[in-house]
Chains A and B, each alone.
Chain A
Amino acid sequence: MAIERGEFPLPDVDDPLVGPFFAAAARGELAITRCAECDRLVWYPASCPVCGAEPIWVAVSGRATLFSWVTVRRPFLPAFADFVPFVTALVALEEDASVRLCTMVPEVDPSVLRADQAMRVVFRPLRFATVPDREVIVPMFVPVESSSNRPPH
Chain B
Amino acid sequence: MVDTPDWGHAVELDDIAGAVSIVGIGETAFTKASGRTATEIGAEAAERAIADAGLIPDQIDGLTYSGAFAGFGPADFHAHFGTNHELWSSPWGGGMAWAGTAPYLAAKAIAAGDATHVLNVFPVAWATQRAEMTGGPGEVHAQQSLKQNLEVPFGWFPQPIYFATIMQRYMHEYGTTREQFGAVAVTLRDHANRTPGAVFHDKAMSIDDYLAAPMLADPLCLFDSCPISDGGGAYVVTSTERARDLRADPVVVLGVGEGYSATGTHWSQQRAFTSTPQVFAAPHAWRMAGITPADVDVLTCYDPFTVVSLMQLEDMGFCEKGDAGALAQSGALRFDSQQIPYNTHGGLLSHAYVLGIAHVIECVQQLRGSAGAQVAGCEVAAYGGYTGHMASTLVLGRDR
Contact = CB atoms under 8 A, between A and B. Distances in A.
A104 B269 contact: no
B131 to A, nearest CB: 16
Contacts of A49: 262
Contact of B152 (A9, A43, A140): A9
B149 A77 contact: no
Contacts of B160: 76
Nearest to A18: B149
B218 interface: yes
B146 A68 contact: no
15 contacts: A3-B148, A9-B153, A10-B153, A44-B150, A68-B172, A70-B218, A72-B217, A76-B138, A77-B152, A88-B154, A88-B155, A89-B165, A103-B154, A126-B153, A140-B154
Contacts of A43: 269
A139 to B, nearest CB: 9
A100 B156 CA distance: 13
B157 to A, nearest CB: 7
B171 to A, nearest CB: 9
B217 A11 contact: no
Interface of A: 1, 3, 8-12, 15, 17-18, 21, 43-45, 49, 67-74, 76-77, 80, 83, 86, 88-90, 98-104, 110, 115-116, 126, 136, 138, 140
Interface of B: 138-139, 142-143, 145-146, 148-158, 160-161, 164-166, 168-169, 172, 214-220, 262, 266, 268-269, 271, 273
B154 A138 contact: yes
Nearest to A43: B269
Contacts, number: 113
A11 B220 contact: no
Q: Which 4 A-B pairs have the closest CB atoms?
A: A115-B172, A68-B169, A88-B155, A70-B164
A86 B157 CA distance: 13
Most buried by A among B153, B166, B273: B153
Contacts of A74: 214, 216-217
B145 A68 contact: no
Contacts of B154: 88-89, 102-104, 138, 140
